[in-house]
């Protein structure tokens, strides 16, 4: 194996790694606004009064069931797709 061939192979690996890093960075940039939104919701909920928290929860959750062995089943008022708007774009990278 010649030195030139080794250098070429290493350069190709570096290019591949650089490309993968760019894809990861793009994915992170897409997630950032959603992360900030969820973080804002959490802070808003944390700062709310007990009455406001109850009202928020009643808007998000339609049913809570507690079964044998304290198994909890929570039914949300919103659909999964509605909650995760924008996440599908990450799968296309």
Per residue in 2-48, pLDDT tens? Answer: 888 999 999 999 999 999 999 989 888 877 887 787 788 888 899 99
Phi, psi of 36 (to 5 degrees): -60, -40
pTM across the whole model: 0.45
pLDDT tens figures, 52-91: 998 888 877 888 999 999 999 988 776 555 555 555 555 5
Predicted confidence at residue 78, as pLDDT, reads: 66
Give how far Cα 6 sits from Cα of 9, 16, 19, Å: 5, 15, 20
DSSP helix, strand, coil percent of the chain (3-state; round to 5): 75, 10, 15
């Amino acid at each position: 194996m010649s030195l030139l061939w080794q250098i070429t192979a290493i350069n190709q690996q570096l290019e591949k790694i650089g490309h993968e890093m760019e894809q990861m960075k793009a994915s992170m940039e897409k997630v950032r606004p959603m992360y900030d939104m969820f973080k804002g919701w959490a802070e808003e909920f944390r700062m709310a009064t007990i009455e406001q928290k109850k009202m928020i929860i009643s808007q998000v959750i339609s049913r809570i069931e507690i079964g044998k062995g304290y198994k909890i089943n929570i039914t949300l008022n919103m659909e999964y797709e509605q909650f995760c708007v924008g996440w599908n774009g990450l799968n296309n990278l």
